[in-house]
Amino acid sequence: MNVRFRCNGRAVEVDVPPMSRLLDVLREELRLTGSKEGCGEGECGACTVRIDGEAVMSCLVPVCQVDGASIVTIEGLGASVVHPVQTAMLQHGGAQCGICTPGLCMSAAALLERNPHPSREEARVALAGNLCRCTGYQKVVDAVCASLAPEGS
Amino acid sequence: MSAPVTALFRPRTLNDALKMRAEQPGATVMAGGTDVMVYIESGTLKPTAILDLWGCSGLRWQQSITGGQFHGAGLTCTDVLRSGQSHPLLEAAAATVGAVQIQNRATLGGNICNASPAGDTLPVWLALKAEFEVASVRGRRRIPAASFWQGYKKIDLRPDELFLGILIPPLFGHTHFRKVGTRLAQSISKVVFAGRYNPGVDACLAFGAVGPTPMRCLKAETALVAGAAVDDVVQLVREEIAPIDDIRSTAVYRRQVAGNIVRRWLTSL
Amino acid sequence: MSIGTSPPRRDGLEKLSGRALYADDFRPDGLLYGATVRSDRAHAKILSIERDPAFDWSDVTVVTAKDLPGPNIVTLMTDDQPILADGITRHVTEPIALVAAPTRERALAAANAVKITYEDLPSLFDPLLAEGHDVRIYGDDNVFKRLHIQHGVRTDTTSHLIRGRYRTGLQEQLYIEPQSMIASPRADGGFTVRGSMQCPYYVDRAVKRMLGHDRLNVVQAVTGGGFGGKEEYPSMLACHVVLLAQATGRPVKITYGRGEDLRATTKRHPAIIDLATLVSPEGELLELHARLWMDGGAYHTLSTVVLSRAILHVGGPYRCPFFDLEGTVVATNTPPNGAFRGFGAPQAQWAMERHMDRIARELGIDPLELRWRNLYREGDVTATGQALQDPGAFAVLRAAEAAAAAPVVRKTVRPGVENAELREGRGIAMAWHGCGFTGNGEAKIRGKVALEVRGSEVAVLSSSTDIGQGTETIFPMIVADTLGISMDRVFNTEHDTGIVPDSGPTVASRTAMVVGGTCEKAAQQLLGRLRKEHGEGDFDSLLQRWRAADRGLLRVEETYEVDASVVWDPETYQGDAYPTFGWSCVIVDLRVDVDTGEVIYDRVVTATDVGKALSPVLAEGQIEGGTLQALGWATAEEVVLDARGCMRNDRLTNYIIPTALDAPEFVTALVEIPFAGGPFGAKGIGEIPMDAPAAAVAQAIERAVGARLDSLPMTPERVLAAMEIR
C-alpha cells in the first residue's frame, strides 16, 4: 500500500504492507531510528511520536492510519531549534541511558503545547506512559516543569 | 511484525462502513488499534482482512439527544476527558485507561467490543444503565449494556453489525468509580468498580475483572435499595462475583477488595 | 575546575535528539537477522534437532552446537555454561540452535520451524532441597559455592535470642533497551561485534575463546541501560551472532523481543536468609548468625561472587562482637540468575534491616534508636576483621533526618480514591556497600587506562562503558581537572577492544572510583612525563614544548595498583574486603490504602555517602533511579514462574515497574566523606541505592497498617493479607 504523510515537515511516501507498524516504517523505511522499541505492545512509550499533535505509541499504529497525517518524531522535535524540553532535560540531568529519552521528550512536548505551565503532578500524569528505569523520573519532571519558559517569555 | 493482511477496508462514511461490514463479515474491525495491534504482535490474532474505522466519519461525536447523552463509538478516551461533557464516572474511567498515548487512540467502542473482562470503562456502562446502538445494512438496534457481554470475550454483535455508540439515560444518585491495579498508570485492572446509588430508588454495583464478563451484583443491589446493612451488601457482593486466580492477582484478593471498595463508598455517603 | 559541578552530560544532546545509535539502530549492508531456538523443557535430553520439511529453508542458515569452531563454553568464571545446549538442556529458554534469515519475520518463523525432540529428566526448583539432590545440575552436589566466615569473640552476658527468616524473589533488571548485538565479518577473516553491553572485554574473551583466534574487536554501541543485566549475558549473545556471521559470511543482528528478553535473560538471585542474633537487654548486638541460601539457576554465571557480596554485607552497617555467617548458592533448573545492581547485598541487607525491626519490636525499643546504638563507629572491626576508617553511618543518618524534617507534601490522590482510607507510615533503613571489587579482585584485574594527546585534545581510552551512569562525562572531568585544562578538550574514545586497554568490567560501583582513579593517575603520569622532559609549566605550555621538540605521539598508559596496605585472604575471607564503604540512610513516607493494600509513595529521602560528588546531578540521578528500582522490588516487581521455571508474566503489562505517577518525590542528600583512594575523594555509588529502600518501605507499611512482611515483594495482595492476620 502506498501511504503518504508528512514526517517532520517533509512529505513522504512509502510502499509498505498496510498493517505495518508505524514504528517499523519510521525506523526501517525512513531510517529515523530515534524512536525506540522497548516492548512492542504500547507499554513502555519509547516509541512515542506525535500524530497531528497527539502523542501516540508508534508500535500500536498501523501505517495505513497515518495516510494524510502529519507526524513529528524526535528527529523533528528540535530539528531547527533545540526544543525547550530538550534544553531543560540536558540541564537537569533528565537523560541517563537515553533509550526512553526520545519518547519522554515527545510526551513532554505534547503536554507543554497544551499546558505550558504544568504542575509536577500534571507532568507525572503526562509522562506516565513512558517507562524509564534509570532516573526515578525526578529529574525528568524537574526538566519538564522547568521548560515552561521557552525563549522570549 | 506486519500481518499478512490481504484486504484492507477504510470506509469514510458510516454507510460505506456498513456495506463493507455486510460484505466482509470476517474482517477484523479496528479503530485506534491499541488492542488489535497488540494481538497481532503477540500472534494471538492473524487477521487477513481489516475494516479500519479510524478515519470513518460519523462515529466520533458526542451530543445530548432525546433520552440522554450519546457517545459515538469512535470517541477516544482523550476526547471524553477534553469534552468536559461526559458523566464523571466515564471521565474517571477514561483517565485510568493506559496512559496518555493510549488514551489518544483507544476508543469507547473498542473498549466495549474488545470485551476484556478487565476493560476499564465497562462497569461504567452497567452502572449508568447505558444502551448500545449497533447497526447493519438491515437496520439499527439497541442493546442494554447489561446483556451485551454474553461470555468471556463474547458480545451480542452480529457478523454484519457495527457498534455505533452508547446512549446514557438521565439518571440520578451517588456515583463512584474505582480501579485497582498494581500501579497508577499503564495498569490492567485487578478489580474495577463503578457504582450508582439512588437511595430508595435504585442502585447499581458493577465490577470488572472479577468474572468472565463485566457484571452487576443484582442481589446486593436489591438488598441495598431495600435498606440492608452495608455489611450485608458487602457480603452479597463477595458472593455474587466470580473472580479467579490469574497472572495479575488472586481470587481471594479480588473478592476482599471488591467488598472493601463497596463498603468504603457506601459508608462515606 | 569541573569536578563538583554538573556540566551537561557529554552524550546528552545525541540522546535527546534521537541521534545516538543503539545496537538495533545499525543496519549494515547485507545484514541478516538472527533468532534463537530455545528449550521448552526445564531438564531434558535433546534427542534430535530437525527442520520442519514444510518450511522453506532456502534463505535460512541454521547453526547448532555441532557447528561451533571452539569450545562450547560461555567464558566467564567457570566453564559450565554452553553457548548452545548440546545433548542436554538444563533450563527452559536455554539456546539450542540459531537461525539467520534476510528479515526478522523470516528468522522468527524459521526458529519456530526448528523442531526439537526431548526426553524429559526430573527437574529441581527448590533451592533448599538442591544440595545433594538426586537431580544433578552442577558438580557432585549442585552447590556452586559455600562460604563461611567466623570472626570475633562470643560473649556470655545476659542476652535475648531473636530469630527470623527473610526472603526475596527474582527481579528483572528491565533495561528499556532489550539485549541486542551485531557481528560483522572483517576482511581478515575475523569479526567486529557491536552491541549493547557493559563489559566489552568479557565479550572479547568469550568470543575469542570460541573462535580459537584473536581476529576480533568488540565495540560498545550506545547502551540503553544495564543494571547488571548486560554484564555477563551479552557474552553469550555475542557468541551467537558471531556463529551466525561465520556461517553466513554476512553481518548478523539479534535483537531480543521483550518477551524473549524477560524469559531468557538473567535475574536477581532469589534468597532465603535465616538470621539469629543474641542481643543485650539494651539492644546491643552481641552475636549474629546468618544462614543464607541463594538460587543460582542452572548455570554458575557470577553466583560465587554474588554470594560473597551477600555474606559480606549481611550484617548491615552494624557493629557486632561475633559473626558466624554462612552462605550457599545452589543450582536449580531455572534460567541462570546473574548480576543485578547491588549483587547480593540488597537481599542480605533486606534481611538484616527487617531483623533489626524485629529486634526492636521484641525488645520494645524504637527501631531508629536501636540503629543508633549499633551503627559502626570509627575503628570498629567487620566480620572480615577489617578496621573501618571514617565510617559514614552516623553522618548519613543525621543528614537524612535533617532532610526529612521538612513537611511531607502528599500526592493528590486520583479520582476514585478520594474517599479511601489512607494510613500514613514512615520507615527508615540503613545500608553500607563495599565499593569496587571484593577482596583481591582489583589486584587480579589490574585495570588499565590510556591517554592520548590528539591535537589540542586529550583522548581517554578505557573499556569502561557509559550505560547511563555518566562515564563519558566523568572521565573527561577527572582528566581535565588533573591536567588543568577545560573538560571540553577531553573526550572518551569509542569503547572498542581493538583500541582501548582492558580497564576491567563496568560493574561493582568501581567505574568512577577505580577506573576514574586510574584516569587521574594517568593524567598525573602525562603531566609528569612532560615535566620530566620540559621542566615546569602548565599543560599547554609543556605540550607546546613537546611539539616543538617533535617528539611524536604523546600517550601514557596507567594500571590500577592496589594499595599495599590492603590485605585480603581469599581462603579465610579475612582482611580488607573492600577498599572503602559507602553508607546510606533512607526515610520513606508512604500511605497504605487499607481497603486494597496499595502503597502510595509520597516522599523518599535518601542520604548517601558518595565520598565526593564528582557531578552532583549525575550522582543524584544514580541514587534516585536506583532507589526507584528498589521501590519496585519492594512492592511491585514479581517474577512468576510456571511449572517449567519459565517466566509467566513475560510482558510489561504484567511485570510491573513503577511509572512517573508511582514514583515519589525524591529528596537526595549527598554526604561527602572523602576516600583517599578515589579520584578527588569519590566512592562508588552505583549500587548502594538498591540496598536500603525496601526495608524502609516494610517498616513504613508496618507503621501504617501493622502488616509485618518479611518477604519481597510486598504486593498489595500480601499487604492486605498481612493486615488481616493482625
Query: Residue ranges of the domains in chain B?
Result: 7-52, 62-168, 174-268
Name every chain B residue with its beta carbon within 8 A of the beta carbon of C721.
252-253
Q: For residue B254, is pLDDT > 80?
A: yes
Band (pLDDT 50/70/90 cuts) for residue A149 is low
User: What are the structural domains of chain A?
Assistant: 2-77 (3.10.20.30), 84-146 (1.10.150.120)
The fold of C441-559 is Aldehyde Oxidoreductase; domain 4 (3.30.365)
A139:C21 CB<8 A: no
B182: nearest CA in chain C? C636
Name residues whose C-beta falls within 8 Å of residue C336's C-beta, 6 or more positions apart in sequence. C81, C91, C266, C296, C297, C298, C299, C300, C301
Question: Measured between CB atoms, which of A32, A41, A129 is closest to C651?
Answer: A41
Residue A152 pLDDT > 80: no
- Whole-number Å distance between alpha carbons of C466 and C266: 21
Considering Cα of C256, then C262, then C264, then C265, what sign does the dihedral take? positive
Span C228-270, pLDDT tens digits: 999 999 999 999 999 999 999 999 999 999 999 999 999 999 9
Name the CATH architecture for the domain at C23-121+179-255.
Alpha-Beta Complex (3.90)
Which set of grid coordinates corresponds to residue A3?
501511504
| Neighbouring chains to A with at least 3 Cβ pairs closer than 8 Å | B, C
pLDDT single digits (tens) C668-721? 999 999 999 999 999 999 999 999 999 999 999 999 999 999 999 999 999 999
Give the pLDDT confidence score for residue A148 in this predicted structure.
67
Interface list for C 86-115 with B (CB within 8 A): 104-105, 108
Name the H helices within C249-384: 258-264, 303-313, 345-363, 367-374
CB-CB contact of C252 with C240 (8 Å) = no
Instruction: Using an 8 Å CB-CB cutoff, list chain C residues near B237.
Output: none
- The minimum CA-CA distance between B68 and chain A, rounded to whole Å, is 30
Task: Determine the Cα–Cα distance for residues C70 and C73; give it in Å rounded to an integer.
Answer: 8
DSSP characters over C395-446: HHHHHHHHHHTSPP-PPPPPTT-TT--EEEEEEEEEEEEE-SSSTTHHHHH-
Give the per-residue pLDDT at C417.
Answer: 84
Where are any strands of DSSP class E within C169-249?
180-185, 191-195, 216-220
Beta-carbon contacts of residue C141 (< 8 Å; ≥ 6 apart):
C131, C132
With beta carbons under 8 A apart, name residues in chain C contacting A59: none
Q: What are the phi and psi torsion angles at C710 (to 5°)?
A: -115, 5
Question: Taking 80 as the threshold, does the pLDDT of residue B186 lie above it?
Answer: yes
Question: HEC profile for C339-374?
Answer: CCCCCCHHHHHHHHHHHHHHHHHHHCCCHHHHHHHH
Buried b (16+ CB within 10 A) or exposed e, B68-81: bbbbbbbbbbbbbb
H or E element that contains C481: helix C471-483
Amino acid at C454: R
| Overall average pLDDT of the C6-16 stretch | 97
Q: What angle do CA A133, A134, A137 make, to 5 degrees?
A: 85
CA distance B105 to chain A (A): 7
Put simply, whether A42 touches B (Cβ < 8 Å) is yes
CB atoms within 10 A of CB B269: 11
Q: Which of C58, C99, C114 is nearest to C254 (CA)?
A: C99
Out of A36, A78, A97, the one facing C17 most closely (by C-beta) is A78
Q: How many CB pairs under 8 A join A and C?
A: 178
Interface mutation vs chain A, best among B101, B105, B186, most A CBs within 10 Å: B101
Q: pLDDT per residue over B46-72, tens digit each?
A: 999 999 999 999 999 999 988 899 999
The pTM of this model reads: 0.98
Domain B7-52: assigned CATH number: 3.30.43
Please provide the DSSP assignment of C623-663 as one string.
Answer: HHHHHHHHHHHHHT--PPB-TTS-BS--STTTS----TTTS
ipTM of the complex: 0.97
pLDDT in tens, C287-327: 999 999 999 999 999 999 999 999 999 999 999 999 999 99
Give, as one character, the DSSP assignment of residue B246: -
Cell readout for B20 is: 463493507
Q: Between chains, do C258 and A40 touch, taking CB under 8 Å as contact?
A: yes
Per residue in A40-60, pLDDT (tens digit) is 999 999 999 999 999 999 999
Separation of alpha carbons C63 and B159, rounded Å: 47
CA distance C223 to chain A (A): 6
Is the model's pLDDT at B2 over the cut of 50?
no
Neighbouring chains of B at 3+ CB pairs within 8 Å?
Answer: A, C
| Stretch (H or E) spanning B238 | helix B230-240
C-alpha cell of residue C289: 548468625
Alpha-carbon Rg of chain B, whole angstroms? 19
Q: What pLDDT does C725 receive?
A: 54
Percent of chain C residues topping a pLDDT of 70: 100
Which residues in chain C (359-378) have CB-CB distances under 8 A to chain B?
A: none
Distance from CA of B116 to the nearest CA of C (A): 14
Q: Which of C6, C411, C653 sits opposite A43 (nearest CB)?
A: C653
Of C105, C596, C661, the CB nearest to B180: C596
Q: Is the pLDDT of residue B1 over 50?
A: no
**Residue C471, pLDDT above cutoff 70:** yes
Q: Which residues of B touch A59 (CB under 8 A)?
A: 37, 41
State the DSSP H helix or E strand holding residue B194, giving kind and residue range, or none if neither.
strand B191-198
Helix or strand or coil: residue B8? strand
* Lowest mean per-residue pLDDT among A130-144, C185-199, C554-568, C647-661: C554-568
Cβ–Cβ pairs < 8 A, chains A and B: 94
Residue extents of the structural domains in chain C: 23-121+179-255, 271-438+573-725, 441-559
Class of domain B62-168: alpha beta
Q: C337 touching B, CB under 8 A?
A: no
3-state SS, residue B9: strand
Which of C418, C591, C596 to probe the B interface (max B CBs under 10 A)? C596
- Do the Cβ atoms of C17 and A86 come within 8 Å? yes
CATH of B174-268, one of 3.30.590.20, 3.30.390.50, 3.30.70.360, 3.30.1120.130: 3.30.390.50
Tell the burial category of C118 from Cβ atoms under 10 Å away from its Cβ (0-12, 13-18, 19+): middle
Q: Which of B129, B147, B167, B267 is nearest to B213 (CA)?
A: B147
State whether A65 and B55 contact (CB < 8 Å).
yes
Architecture of the domain defined by C271-438+573-725: 2-Layer Sandwich (3.30)
**CB atoms inside a 10 Å sphere around CB C214:** 9
Chains touching C (3+ CB pairs < 8 Å):
A, B
Distance between CA atoms of residues A126 and A107, nearest Å: 7
Hey, what's the cell of C32?
541478516
The DSSP bridge pattern shows strands C44-51 and C160-168 to be unpaired
CA distance C643 to C646: 7
Average pLDDT of chain C to the nearest whole number: 97
Helix, strand or coil, per DSSP, at residue C578:
coil
Q: How far is CA C64 from CA C72, C100, C256, in A?
A: 11, 12, 19
d(CA C82, CA B167): 62
Topology match between the domains C271-438+573-725 and C441-559: yes
